[in-house]
Amino acid sequence: MGILTVLIPVSLILGGIGLAAFFWSLKNRQYDDPEGDARRILTKDWDDHPKP
């Protein structure tokens, strides 16, 4: 049973990280242009360094 005291917090923390990442992506307007973003990864622009 001792394993539960480790596993339950671990699963909650991992899930929480996922949730925080979701909030972050939402706040950063990552879902405003899903179609454009899907195409953008195919271009070679800004492959070396991010757009300033």
Regarding 47 and contact with other proteins (CB under 8 A), the answer is no
Asked if 7 and 13 touch (Cβ cutoff 8 Å), the reply is no
Regarding 48 and contact with other proteins (CB under 8 A), the answer is no
Regarding 23 and contact with other proteins (CB under 8 A), the answer is yes
Regarding 8 and contact with other proteins (CB under 8 A), the answer is yes
Asked if 21 and 27 touch (Cβ cutoff 8 Å), the reply is no
Chosen residue from 3, 6, 28, 31 binding other proteins by CB under 8 A: 31
Number of residues located near other proteins, criterion CB under 8 A: 23
